[in-house]
Amino acid sequence: MIRPRSRKAFAAALLVTALAISAGAQAAPGTAGQAAGTAAARRKAQVAVAALGSRDELVESILESELGAMLDREGVEVLGRIELRAEGRAPEPPSEQRITMLLGGLDAKGADIIVAAFYLSRESELTFQFVLFDPEVDVVVGGTVSRARKGLAAFANIQSSVAELEPSIERYVEGAYRVEARTGFVERIVVEGARDGSRVVILDRDYGTVSGGRLVVPYTQFAIGATVPIAVSKDGYHSRSLSVTLDEQQETVVVPPLRRETRIDLGARWSLGQAAGLGFGSRFHIQPDTLFVGLEAYRYLEADSFDNRIVRHYDIGASVGRYVGFPYSSFFRVHLSVGIGMIVTDVEGIPGREYTDYYLALGDPTAELRFGRLSVFARPDIRYALGLGYNLLGRQWIRTPYGLPPITIGARMSL
């Protein structure tokens, strides 16, 4: 008996009662088959209804009465309702593992089966997850997931959602311990390969995060052969989207591991044309692995200073650059950058007369090979000296007497 707790619940209960009478009339022709089942052993069930987010008493009342009516039709005796609390985590349908944990801890009070209904009321949408649980062996033996709109149509939607569970109840009553999935639908989807904490969205529905290297997707009715988009995301990593065709009842989807977003990298470089030296640099990525600003410093000696004054060059530059042409996931990438810099040349023993060559970096087309967080790169240093102040190079393109610009090779580590 449903005890209305409010005026709205009372109205719903009246509606449930009216529809239950109607359903009973429709179910009458089938009672002979059920009688055969119940003659052997009338099964007993406990009903559990739990909100995954905020509670909605009207929804709970409808669910409880509809489940009760459906079980009654199938000849299952409802012993009562078990209190179940499922909130406390992210408002999302629980995984099979969590369902087992939640329902396995309940006292079934002699019931053969627990019929649990989890619901999530969110904005204008209701999400239901029905579970058929055997408390004897703590196993989920069936279930469905469905969605419905809130409002006046809620009752009809809940009724049809409960009806989707009815075939599972029928099979259970007929003696099949394990409920077979309906032919033509995917029974189970496991997502593997993504990093722990990665969020998985199939179609437009968030199915939670990967834990322990896998995510068992709460049952959703996908037809075998359907192609669905899967998006995997995690803070600090590049999101990945892929389309997967669900070919098996037991489908395992392996997604490539997400690549870390580069925010800061550090690098070392060496330049042909500035051979007796070494440089270091760092880049801050305004848009990870796409748009960056960089600072570089290079120090080198004149290689032919054995019996003369030692000449030291200090090359300092700042640039802004962008990767072009290849996605961040590509093994080979290219970036261009422009910037400014200066090379201070200090001749030992000549204080106060350092040469300073200011220059513009105009392009610096850089080819890059990526090995995880490490990348190696090569580029011609295309720079134009401005010939300002006490300088050495004058106003011209910077290149060696052999006609080549300095060629830089180096490596970077993404932090």
CB of 407 to other proteins, least distance (A): 11
> CB of residue 376 vs other proteins: minimum separation in angstroms?
17
Cα(283)–Cα(262) distance, integer angstroms = 9
State which amino acid sits at residue 157: N
Do the Cβ atoms of 33 and 85 come closer than 8 Å? Answer: no
Q: Do 314 and 300 touch, CB atoms closer than 8 A?
A: no
Comparing CB distances to other proteins, the nearer of 15 and 297 is 297
Which residue, 328 or 355, has its beta carbon nearer to other proteins?
Answer: 355
Task: Tell me the closest approach of the beta carbon of residue 350 to other proteins, in angstroms.
Answer: 5
Which of 277, 345, 279 shows the shortest CA–CA distance to 311?
Answer: 345
CB 298, CB 276: distance < 8 Å:
no
Q: Least distance to other proteins from the beta carbon of 296, Å? A: 16
Whole-number minimum distance, CB 316 to other proteins, in Å? 16
383-386 and 355-371 beta bridge pairing? antiparallel
Under DSSP, is residue 312 helix (H, G, I), strand (E, B) or coil? Answer: strand
Q: What angle do CA 110, 114, 120 make, to 5 degrees?
A: 145
What tokens appear for 178 in the block? 């394990």
Q: Which two tokens stand for residue 6?
A: 């409010």
- In Å, what is the CA distance from 379 to each residue of 336, 359, 366, 406? 10, 17, 4, 9
Helices 7-27 and 154-173: angle between axes, nearest 10 degrees: 50
Our CB check for other proteins shows the closer of 4 and 273 to be: 273
Q: Which residues are CB-neighbours of 359 under 8 A, at least 6 positions away?
A: 317, 340, 341, 342, 343, 383, 384, 385, 386, 393, 398
Is the Cβ of residue 188 or residue 399 nearer to other proteins in the bound state?
Answer: 399
Nearest one of 74, 67, 78 to 30, comparing CA atoms = 74
d(CA 221, CA 239) in angstroms, rounded, equals 25
C-alpha atoms less than 13 angstroms from C-alpha of 213 in its C-beta half-sphere? 1
Looking at beta carbons only, is 371 or 402 nearer to other proteins? 402
In the complex, least distance from residue 397 CB atom to other proteins, rounded to whole angstroms: 9
Closer CB to other proteins, 92 or 381, in the complex: 381
Query: Is residue 156 a contact partner of residue 146, using CB atoms and an 8 Å limit?
Result: no
Would you say 187 or 346 has its CB closer to other proteins?
346
Kindly state the smallest distance separating residue 313's Cβ from other proteins, in Å: 7
Q: Between residues 263 and 312, which has the closer beta carbon with respect to other proteins?
A: 312
Least CB distance from residue 339 to other proteins, whole Å?
17
Interface with other proteins (CB under 8 A): 272-276, 300, 302-305, 308-311, 313, 345, 347, 350, 353, 355, 387-396, 398-403, 406
